[in-house]
Chains A and B, each alone.
Chain A
């Protein structure tokens, strides 16, 4: 049963610290997405990769957030330095560009104190 995996599932850190979240997309999928979900803003798209190349990161605060795909089996989302307002659940999703749907991971719940 192929699924998207994310690590860590929970992260508590202090303001100013670096946070790295990892995602393993489903093998064979060529698109990867990072979302942030909060009560106030709902589900927001942060970044979108196709064949490991970033296509759209307009939803991501550029000064502190960065997203990369070092290889086809790993996507990372980094926050440096973290701030309390970054507290949220971060989801990774993957899919086939021609397939339409996205498959979501279980999320990383980030708390910045």
Chain B
């Protein structure tokens, strides 16, 4: 069965520092992958997605992610973190390629704290 693992439950970075959030997946084929962000009291907002093609994808708010098939990873990065980036980040994959439509499998999330 498919699964998504986010090894880091909490991460703290200083404002202006670079950020990398890890995501590993287990799936029988190349999946469609997503990163969502959830600010306190808000719903989940799509940051970026990977379907195919260029393995480095750009998203909103200055985020990017790189798909690495050999490592089954889809890590999220940002070169310089802003205090407003403090939120919870979810990695997810969809079952669309195996007939599961756009049902998502989510990781457990990484809580990002930004120190000023």
Give chain A's interface residues, CB within 8 Å of chain B. 4, 31, 33, 42-43, 45, 48, 50, 55-56, 91, 93, 95-107
Q: How many A-B residue pairs have CB under 8 A?
A: 53
The residue that B44 contacts in the complex, of A56, A96, A104, with Cβ under 8 A, is: A104
B108 located at the interface, meaning its Cβ lies under 8 Å from any Cβ of chain A in the complex: yes
Q: Report B-chain residues with C-beta under 8 Å of the C-beta of A93.
A: 44
B90 located at the interface, meaning its Cβ lies under 8 Å from any Cβ of chain A in the complex: yes
Given contact pairs A42-B108, A43-B90, A43-B109, A100 touches B43 in the complex (Cβ within 8 A) = no
A-B contact pairs, 5 of them (CB 8 A): A100-B49, A100-B94, A102-B102, A104-B36, A104-B43
- Chain B: interface residue total (CB-CB under 8 A): 20
B104 located at the interface, meaning its Cβ lies under 8 Å from any Cβ of chain A in the complex: yes
In the bound complex, CA of A106 to CA of B42 (Å): 6
Q: Report A-chain residues with C-beta under 8 Å of the C-beta of B104.
A: 33, 45, 102
Q: Secondary structure of the A side of the interface?
A: strand
Contact of A100 with B103 in the complex, beta carbons under 8 Å: no
In the bound complex, CA of A45 to CA of B101 (Å): 14
In the bound complex, CA of A102 to CA of B105 (Å): 11
A59 to chain B, nearest CB (A): 11
Q: Report A-chain residues with C-beta under 8 Å of the C-beta of B36.
A: 104
